[in-house]
Amino acid sequence: MKFGKRLKEQIEETLPAWRDEFLSYKDLKQLVKLIPEAQPCSKVEAEFIELLNFEIDKLNAFFVGREEEFIIRQRHLQEMVKRVAEMYQARGREEEYAKEMSRIRKEIVNLHGEMVLLENYSSINYIGLAKILKKYDKRSGRLLRLLFIEKILKQPFFTTDLISKLVKECESMIDLVFPSESDHQQLKPEDKRKLVGEEQSIFRSTVVALVTMQEMRKGSSTYGQFSLPPLSLPDNLLQSLQPTPIPIP
Amino acid sequence: MSSSLPFISRSMEKKFPKLHDAQQDVKSNPVVPHYSPFVSCFPGSLSSSAPGFSSDIHHFSFSADERNIQGLSTEGTWCADQIQGALDRSDNVIAGNNQAHSSSIELPDDINRQDEWWTDMMNDDWKELLDDTTVNESHPKVSYPAAQTSASMVNQPQIHQSVPSHSEEGFTVAGSSSATATATKPRMRWTPELHERFVEAVNQLGGSEKATPKGVLKLMKVEGLTIYHVKSHLQKYRTTRYKPDSLEGSMKTAKFGEETPPLNLKTSFDLTEALRLQIEVQKQLHEQLEIQRNLQLRIEEQGKYLQIMFEKQGMSSQKKLEVSTLEPSISSDHAADGRLQDNQLETDVFPEAKVTDGSSNKQMAESCNAKDNKADFVVGSSFSCGSAKIHDGDDSISKPELS
């Protein structure tokens, strides 16, 4: 029950274009509930599996599409950095250079953010699938979960190696284009809060994702072999962003 | 009843080592990475499959009588055999299948009688097989290019990365997909290398406005790439370049409007600081997700291993695997037939442990001895406490030994 709620919250806080692309956890759960207990194969079960397959395709399609887009954007930004350096910096047009670089920095950070959110997308949908399969097994008395999970682990939406690599490359780019840290001060708390409070932003979505992850990994009544240990975040990371208007019950 | 067990064990054994393969980072491959829609594997919507599927069906249906089946209809039998066939074949597919399969093969009408065989499966003994049906018919597909891939330029002597190609998960031009309403074209997975190639081709043709999909396709010379792929990619490429291009002056970000600095921050200094904070949080999420992912993989691996162990246990003497040497005694949840109930896996393996990479065995050992380990029985720990490493491979699975 809780996961469904958390998933819903995550979806609410996610980027608008992504809202319909998450696992239809609720629908799957409803199907599972309809499965007659301990009976060999019913129509409902067939429906469940069909929906499951459909959902997995949906996840794959979205993920791969985004991944493609990120590849394009990343390369584009790399190109931009070079071009701007050539056009402005090399010719001593410092002011324009600074202006353009400021824009590019923002683009890079946002790209990074979206990529990480895609990783989160992958993760949360996987968790949903794992949970729903567990429910299915319990309800039907079958052992579908392990076999299905094994396949899911190999699906495009879960094999995030490339995205991970892109994220790291992005971070290197950021290190290059950001001024050194020597003279940077912290943002004022109220500015921080404003950042988080801003709806439908990448930043907010990211924070929500972290909070959700933390919440989900706290112990629960169904904590078991396949559950993850509690999350440990660096101190104060989330605290420094509180109080936030994110409604986590 | 026992007919299903060796079946699963065998399939597990073959699949278990494969899991590792799926996670390897693929650098370079000579074929375009494709994957087929998952859904096409569902019984009712099956489409292309490995060639020879139909022949397998015919073959197996003849051998139906040999099986020890009780009270099953012919269709049920067929179903079970189909599973067997699908499993065997899928193993072949996994084991390094780099060839392009022919495009979709229409399966015999048998497949479309899914409704019938669903309702005909009355015998509980076929539960597992039933699961395998739904799952393993998808197997040939899923095992295709599911793993991460990277550049794929066929027959190009000047491939930039010379890393040995990986591809145990056969990257093929998967047959075009199901005849049903779902996704119709094999979806492709782009890589940076492939995109680089694309950009080169586009530039050669005079830029993204001038280049045509056909021209680009020709120049790229990548096997398995279709004009459809190039066209949609070109479209995305054009959109990216002309929307947020800072040299063009206007500034709109990709999918949702973060147009002007959201906070009315007074100085660019503040803006940079805001970005720094944002990056910090993003990095944190990324890191946590990576850790979580590795954990998930490990958990599943272990779960699968244990499943095999318990089923083996059920077949031979139950005493064999008892961890009498350990303090926590095995929970009494073993069903009479040795088959693991689903909720048996719900033991508390990670009480409060913080798992870091590379320390799973150690952590297991710790949780073995941990006083606050409330579980009656920690399945995972039992094996590692006994200093038997969780290793794969057929031998170890068939002869589990604790110290």
The owner of tokens 């040999």 is B66
Structure confidence by residue, pLDDT tens digits, B62-77:
333 444 333 333 433 3
pLDDT at residue number B212? 95
Pairing of strands B28-29, B151-152: parallel
The owner of tokens 């190109």 is A79
* Poorest-pLDDT segment among A83-97, B71-85, B201-215: B71-85
Phi first, then psi: give them for residue B347, nearest 5 degrees.
Answer: -95, 160
pTM for this model (two decimals): 0.61
Higher per-residue pLDDT: B266 or B80: B266
Q: Band of the pLDDT at B309, cuts 50, 70, 90?
A: confident
Residue type for B375, please? A
Instruction: Rank A19-23, B309-313, B315-319 by mean pLDDT and report only the highest.
Output: A19-23
The owner of tokens 């946590």 is B288
In this structure, what DSSP letter does residue B207 have?
S
A69 and B304 in contact by Cβ < 8 A?
Answer: no
pLDDT at residue number A201? 87
- What's the rounded mean pLDDT across residues A32-48? 84
Structure confidence by residue, pLDDT tens digits, B241-285:
887 554 443 333 333 444 444 444 457 777 888 899 899 999 999
pLDDT at residue number A40? 75
* Cα–Cα distance for residue pair A114/A16, rounded to 1 Å: 12
Higher per-residue pLDDT: B162 or B319: B319
Q: Band of the pLDDT at A248, cuts 50, 70, 90?
A: low
Residue type for B224, please? G
**Cα atoms found within 13 Å of the Cα of residue A192, Cβ hemisphere only:** 19
Residue A168 has pLDDT above 60, yes or no: yes
- What's the rounded mean pLDDT across residues B342-360? 39
pLDDT at residue number A249? 57
- What's the rounded mean pLDDT across residues B203-225? 94
- What's the rounded mean pLDDT across residues B307-335? 57
**Cα atoms found within 13 Å of the Cα of residue B345, Cβ hemisphere only:** 24
> DSSP letters along A141-176, please?
---HHHHHHHHHTTSTTT--HHHHHHHHHHHHHHHH
Alpha helices in A35-160 (DSSP H): 43-84, 94-140, 144-152
Which residues 268-297 of chain B have a CB within 8 Å of chain A? 268, 270-286, 288-290, 292-293, 295-297
Nearest to A226 among B244, B277, B303 (CB): B303
Residue B388 has pLDDT above 80, yes or no: no
By the 8 A CB rule, do B281 and A117 touch? no
What ipTM goes with this model? 0.90
Q: Residue A91 class from Cβ within 10 Å (0-12 exposed, 13-18 middle, 19+ buried)?
A: exposed
Residues of A in contact with B14 (CB under 8 A): none
Residues of B in contact with A76 (CB under 8 A): 240-241
Instruction: Note whether A16 contacts B: Cβ–Cβ < 8 A.
Output: yes
By the 8 A CB rule, do B47 and B179 touch? yes
* Cα–Cα distance for residue pair A111/B61, rounded to 1 Å: 54
Q: Band of the pLDDT at A225, cuts 50, 70, 90?
A: low
How many CB atoms neighbour CB B326 within 10 A? 17
How many CB atoms neighbour CB A163 within 10 A? 23
> DSSP letters along B18-45, please?
HHHHHTSPP-EESS--EE--GGGGSGGG
CA angle, residues B284, B289, B291, in degrees to nearest 5? 100
pLDDT at residue number B337? 41
pLDDT at residue number B204? 95
| CA–centroid distance for B200 within its chain | 32
Calculate the average pLDDT of chain B. Answer: 54
pLDDT at residue number A133? 95
| CA–centroid distance for B254 within its chain | 30
* Poorest-pLDDT segment among A176-190, B13-27, B193-207: B13-27
Residue A198 has pLDDT above 80, yes or no: no
* Cα–Cα distance for residue pair B259/B60, rounded to 1 Å: 63
How many CB atoms neighbour CB B372 within 10 A? 8
Which residues 181-210 of chain A have a CB within 8 Å of chain B? 184-187, 191-192, 194-195, 198, 200-203, 206-207, 209-210
Residue B201 has pLDDT above 90, yes or no: yes
pLDDT at residue number B190? 96
Nearest to A50 among B42, B191, B307 (CB): B42
pLDDT at residue number B54? 39
